Structure 1
Amino acid sequence: MTAARHLVLIPSYNTGPKVYETVRAALAQWHDVWVVVDGSTDGTAEGLQRLAAEDQRLRVLLLPQNRGKGAAVLLGLHAALAEGYTHALTMDSDGQHPAELIPHFMQASAERPDTMVLGRPVFDASAPLLRVRGRRVSNWWTNLETLGAGIGDSLYGFRVYPIAELIAVMQGQPWMRRFDFDTEAVVRLAWRGVKPVNLDAPVKYLKAEEGGVSHFRYGRDNVLLTWMHTRLMLEFLLRLPLLALRRVRRRPPFQP
């Protein structure tokens, strides 16, 4: 079996100076950090390229136009696979995710490289109540669609994916290119037999004066999530007999 090789993959779109803090924090914890600039117009592409010129551990990939988080991640996955990497830890560029836990997540993935290691968010008082309640709904649907495969959280983007498996999932259908990427990725990987391993991780919701930037739009993105779960449920009904058989036989992703 090929030894696992891990990198940190950060999709970024118009997060301003906060992306530099995120990248430096990631580099302090891991030796290979890649950023995919998803058509940003805030000047951070140029700033990140300057950082990469000073630090060979950092690589910057550019998309000329904004195509969405999933599209940015997929670009990075293809490039990483071509370089011989087997796993990617994705994290947001806006400072919400705990860079100090990168080694912990990488170790868990290295110990069980056939799994996906998912962050399970631990919220503090900064978390908007509407967002917390909304993700509970999404998590309920996700566990139904996977027949209780054990996904702790469907939306938290701090997680380690097996690269080849995720590319195979994404190339098989035209969705998973925008905000809906995180949820659909874990459902389809579970269908493919990739077991979820859940690890607690804090999440920060930064205020504007702290440099926080959010591109989440309640109306638009909730419509997108609803459409995604509708599609997944229809496909789940077709997959249900096979999933039920796997569960009874404790086959992936239902193995201990």
Structure 2
Amino acid sequence: MPTPSQTHLVLIPSYNPGAKVYETVRAARAQWSPVWVVVDGSTDGTDAGLREMAATDPELRVIVLAQNGGKGAAVLHGLDEAAKLGFTHALSMDSDGQHPAELIPAFMAASQENPTCMVLGKPVFDASAPALRVKGRKISNWWANLETLWMGIGDSLYGFRVYPVEPLRSVMRGQRWMRRFDFDPEAVVRMCWRGVRPLNLDAPVKYLTAEEGGVSHFNYWRDNRLLTWMHIRLMFGFGMRLPLLVCRKLFS
């Protein structure tokens, strides 16, 4: 097993992922120590299995939340706990097997070399990716880059990324959004506004079928409404910050 890091941890928010979560956690543990799983009010029984895994693995911590609060809320809870123990950076990845655990060391190394940056996964899609979602994310990416005056966000939606803990905690504690599906894109925009620069690394993404154990909680209409409202909010914030962003662009 890898030597435990005192600064960087893997943080896996998890909500009703099915049995695939065990494979995800084992793959993450094979690459990094420590790994934390935040069970966000799951009702599929995976919390019990994860606790059994943690009982024999001191570098695996399982935090169980009583109610589902959304991905952002689960990540924030994990960040608060990580800050108490002195961790400075957290790699967030999904629990459903879509993200490449084998790239955890490379992303962590990039973060260690560039500690003031956030390291963002830039998805490389294969034939399993739904065309509607691949095309649809281009719209969100365009808006995110406009809202940051093209600071260089490679992808606003891909959740495999390393965050500096304190800047993200500060951003999230400063407002009530970023708690559900809007977490990933709003986090990168607001972190850019704060001056945290993105560093993009290519990473494959898998869209698993139900037969392969894939579980999706994405709802096209609900989640796209949420993203639309998010970008409306962010455009107001962009307008207020535009002079500062222009100055950064000119003098950076």
- Normalising by structure 2, report the TM-score: 0.97
**Which residue of 197, 201, 210 corresponds with 1:195?**
197
**Residue matched to 2:114:** 112
Letter in 2 for 1:242: L
Distance 1:63 1:225 in 2: 25
Name the counterpart of 1:150. Answer: 152
Name the residue aligned to 2:237.
235
Pairwise mapping of residues 56-67 of structure 1 onto structure 2 (< 5 A)?
56-67=58-69
Q: Pick from 53, 56, 59: which aligns with 1:54?
A: 56
CA contact (8 A) 2:6 2:86 kept: no
Q: d(CA) in 2 for partners of 1:149 and 1:169?
A: 18
Distance 1:189 1:221 in 2: 22
> Which residue does the alignment assign to 2:209?
207
Alignment match, 1:102: 104
Unaligned runs of 5+ in 2: none
Cα distance in 1 for partners of 2:70, 2:237 equals: 24
Matched-pair contact (CA < 8 Å) for 1:4–1:87: no
- Asked if the contact 1:90–1:159 (Cα under 8 Å) also holds between the matched residues in 2, the reply is yes
Deviation at 1:4, TM superposition (A): 7.1
Question: What is the SS of the residue equivalent to 1:239?
Answer: helix
Q: Residue 31 of structure 2: SS of its match in structure 1?
A: coil
Normalising by structure 1, report the TM-score: 0.96
Counterpart pick for 2:136 among 123, 134, 142: 134
Q: Which residue of 2 aligns with 1:80?
A: 82
Post-superposition CA distance 1:159-183 (Å, at most 9, x none): 0000000000000000000010000
Aligned partner letter, 1:115: C
- Equivalent position SS for 2:170: helix
**Structure 1 residue ranges (4+ consecutive) displaced by more than 3 angstroms after TM superposition:** none
One-letter code aligned to 2:242 = L
Shift in Å, 1:62: 1.0
3-state secondary structure, aligned to 2:126: coil
Post-superposition CA distance 1:40-65 (Å, at most 9, x none): 00000111011000100100011101
CA contact (8 A) 1:32 1:58 kept: yes
Task: Letter of the 1:110 partner, please give it.
Answer: Q
Give the aligned partner of residue 222 of structure 2.
220
For 1:242 and 1:195, locate their aligned partners in 2 and report how far apart those are by CA, in whole Å: 15
Q: Is the 8 A contact 1:7 1:33 kept in 2?
A: yes
Q: Distance between the aligned counterparts of 1:70 and 1:180, measured in 2?
A: 8
The counterpart of 2:161, out of the listed 149, 152, 159, is 159
1:248 alignment counterpart: 250
Deviation track 1:7-28 (CA, whole Å, cap 9, x = no partner) reads 0000000011000000000000
Question: Paired residue for 1:32?
Answer: 34
Mapped partners of 1:235, 1:12: distance in 2? 30
Could you say if the C-alpha distance between residues 162 and 4 of structure 1 is closer, same or farther in structure 2, counting changes exceeding 3 Å?
Answer: farther
User: Cα RMSD over matched residues?
Assistant: 0.9
Secondary structure of 1:153's aligned partner: coil
- Indicate if the aligned counterparts of 1:9 and 1:73 stay in contact, CA closer than 8 A: yes
Distance 1:92 1:74 in 2: 15
Question: What stretches of structure 1 of length at least 5 have no aligned partner?
Answer: 251-256
CA distance in 1, matches of 2:6, 2:13: 22
- The Cα offsets for residues 190-216 of structure 1, whole Å up to 9 and x where unpaired, read as 000001000000000000000000000
